Structure 1
Amino acid sequence: HGTLDEVSVVLEALESRRRSVGRLQHGSTWLMDREGMEQATRTRVAEHKAKRIRHHFGQETVIDLCCGIGSDTAALARHGSVIYVDRDPLKVELTRFNLSASHSDAAAHHPLVADAERLPLPPLPIHVDPARRQGARRVYEYSEMIPGPEVIEGLIQHHGSVALKCGPGVDIENLPSGEVEWIQDGSDLVEATLWTGSWAGSTRRTATLVDRNLQISGEFQHLQQSSLKEPAYLHEPCSVIERSGLVGHVQPEVAAGEWHPGLGWLAGQENRTSPWFRTFAVVAQFGWHEKKVVDWFRQKGCAPKAIKTRGVKEDPAQLRRRFSGDAGDWILALLRRGQRIEACVLEEQTHTESSK
């Protein structure tokens, strides 16, 4: 038996463990609170970053600042020494426990309770995971992180090689100099990491599909445009390549042009696929008129499997209610092209290595 507060803590920990399945390799044995679980780096992403960090510094001691429940610490600890730091003593204790639960020798690493503003440490390479929540609200701007820009830029000046974890929606123009790597795991765009010092590459932008071990770097490029009115295929860029501004670098893989300036979707005549895109065959195309499209699906005896929109005001959730019947295999996309809204019925194509 316990108090209501104690029961609440236990229930929160159990729920956090449940939600960590598929995200954290050892989540079923870790101790965590809801806040720590929500901010924790996915194991696959943490290992990706740790590999890059250790490539430059081997087994040398690195610092994991704002360690939270220790997902980045655990990845770094597999191949060298870590000083893990948080201003919250509970988070430091959680990380200590979770290192042991991850089969790391916790005694080989060094806990520290300290504020980022007064970090009593030499200029070792450092990974920083600032708080990106204010109460229940997520924050996306660099200026709203805790610790804030002044402290972070002081760390960069003092430590040189810094990996700063940001939300994927961060505005690259507001970040300090260095390389910004957007990372996607499966279908989820999960973070952007600013790399400085010896960790930074020669370009400003990098997109990584971490589960596919694919990466591309470069500078922003404007997209070549398409003049096609009725394309045979449409290509939707995956989140990471679009957010990083690097679609232009992989555009030749699908031999297609942007269907409308700023739309992002590419239009082409060839069945070319790429891991950086979802490719769809155009089954039917209409000028958007709700009744006409609803009637088309009714005649086919099904509803759309999904509804996508780009550059239009229509709400997919509300549109879905207009259709009757079970979902079929087709996707409905409403896309801006000039002054028109095109309604395209799409069939997704499967990417294989031979289709490149």
Structure 2
Amino acid sequence: MSELRALLTPVGLELLDAVGPIESTAEVARAVSRLRAAGHSPDLVSAVVGQAHLRTKARAKFGEFAQRMLFTRAGLEQATRLAVAARHAQRLRAAGITAVADLGCGIGGDALAFAGAGLEVLAVDADEVTSAIAAFNLAPFGSEVRHATAEDAYGSLGRVPLPRSDSSDSAEAGVQDRGKRTAVGGGQAIWMDPARRTSGHSETRRVSADDYSPSLDWAFDVASQMPTGMKLGPAHDRDALPDDCEAQWVSADGSVVELVVWTGVLARDGIRRSALIIRGDRSYELTAAADAEDAPVRELGAYLHEPDGAVIRARLIGDVARSLDAGMLDPHIAYLTSDAALTSPFVQSFRVRETMPAKPAAISAVLTRNGIGTVEIKKRGMDVDPAAFRKKLKLKGAESATLILTRIGSQRLAILADRVPAP
């Protein structure tokens, strides 16, 4: 907190702007030496150099906006990308929401998008430093930021209504006999990003409701009473989701970044599963009322197709296969195949060159014959480490290709292929 106090002064902020981008560890060391030699205090130097480095890293998520924001390392890692947050804001606006309480706002990534879309925002975070940084980031919009737990802030909403454009709806907010708020109108909504209580959880590990703060039991209870958007890890246990919610998996530039649970008016009629694919400034969406039935299995054709991770998480592979006249390569593997070239934002396609047993010697012979010295390795259904497997291959030549390691039934197969440019 002492570093933040040193930074949040006219001198500190001017020094931060003057330092400019800092990218490498060597640049960090040179900047520290230069600023200390100029007589600046250790706290100020540490804060300025740290923030300059984080601003450079933040460009990937926030673009040019990063140059006027402040960050914590953990806050930047957990923050929603601006392109994704903007689509959250669009959904709220489309549903008639005018005011949103962001309970667990972090550094304010989603709250910035909400405010930028013209919504009135109350941003809350339980960490003192993080809430102070969110207040700085949201200052241009005049949004209120509170240092409080999500539970305390939500409990106060019955006495201190959310900011709103039309305060005449305040009478719609009530309190049930059990002390819980009823569903309200007036264009109000809740946004939550429950934080993991413990570190080190991978996205493939299932976590319980008690692993989060606030707990998911509490969060889902709130979501049953007010229109809510709740950001979770994309590998969250599907069986633990409310039955009446819309579950939307989001992929940004090839990576599945989140699962959002939407309730109330934010959940679209007839939609319970959604895969949102964002590529640059364009987006594509696949929706369904339920998990899709898988497509029939067929033999490997001239092309292999890998569904986007959001499509796989949403279990909509069958719908994609039928829309593209493709089939499953194996009933348990998320690869599709067809004899025709396809262009779809929901799959990455590969033109098959040839197949061989998934053994280093057999693969190396094919690579050598084709003059391949650079290979991208992808795998599904096989317990191999691509980096370790690459070391077993003979790579000589100027050509490049993709090697896909998979299985069909009990057969372990290697497929040499070329990427088809995405649409």
TM-score (norm 1): 0.90
1:116 matched to which residue of 2? 150
Contact 1:254–1:270 (CA under 8 A) maintained in structure 2: no
Contact 2:293–2:319 (CA under 8 A) maintained in structure 1: no
SS of the equivalent of 1:341 reads strand
AA aligned opposite 2:407: R
Structure 2 residue 281 is the aligned partner of structure 1 residue 208: no
Contact 1:129–1:164 (CA under 8 A) maintained in structure 2: yes
* Greater Rg over alpha carbons, structure: 2
Aligned alpha-carbon RMSD (Å): 2.1
CA shift, 1:326, in A, is 5.2
1:64 matched to which residue of 2? 102
1:224 matched to which residue of 2? 295
The CA distance in 1 between the partners of 2:395 and 2:283, in whole Å, is 41
The CA distance in 2 between the partners of 1:135 and 1:339, in whole Å, is 37
SS of the equivalent of 2:296 reads coil
AA aligned opposite 1:37: L
Q: Runs ≥4 in structure 1, deviation > 6 angstroms? A: none
Give the number of the structure whose residues are more often helix, by fraction.
2
CA gap of 1:91–1:205, structure 2 versus 1, over 3 A, is same
**1:125 aligns with one of 189, 193, 202:** 189
The CA distance in 2 between the partners of 1:87 and 1:130, in whole Å, is 11
* 22-31 vs 324-333, greater mean Cα deviation: 324-333
SS of the equivalent of 1:21 reads helix
AA aligned opposite 1:52: R
AA aligned opposite 1:51: Q
The CA distance in 1 between the partners of 2:121 and 2:358, in whole Å, is 57
Contact 2:224–2:264 (CA under 8 A) maintained in structure 1: no
The share of aligned pairs that are identical, in percent, is 28
Contact 1:132–1:138 (CA under 8 A) maintained in structure 2: no
CA shift, 1:281, in A, is 1.1
1:73 matched to which residue of 2? 111
2:416 matched to which residue of 1? 345
Structure 2 residue 71 is the aligned partner of structure 1 residue 32: yes
CA shift, 1:162, in A, is 0.8
The CA distance in 1 between the partners of 2:357 and 2:247, in whole Å, is 40
SS of the equivalent of 1:22 reads helix
Contact 1:254–1:272 (CA under 8 A) maintained in structure 2: yes
Contact 2:295–2:322 (CA under 8 A) maintained in structure 1: no
CA gap of 1:286–1:135, structure 2 versus 1, over 3 A, is closer
Q: Which runs of 5+ in 1 are unaligned?
A: none
Point out which structure has higher relative CO (alpha carbons under 8 A, 6+ apart): 1
1:243 matched to which residue of 2? 313
Q: Which runs of 5+ in 2 are unaligned?
A: 1-35, 159-183
CA gap of 1:317–1:56, structure 2 versus 1, over 3 A, is same
CA gap of 1:272–1:153, structure 2 versus 1, over 3 A, is closer
Per-residue CA shift, 1:255-302, capped at 9, x if unaligned? 211111111101221122311111111111123332121012122222
The CA distance in 1 between the partners of 2:125 and 2:358, in whole Å, is 54
**1:169 aligns with one of 213, 229, 235:** 235
Contact 1:253–1:274 (CA under 8 A) maintained in structure 2: no
Count of aligned residue pairs for this structure pair: 344
TM-score (norm 2): 0.76
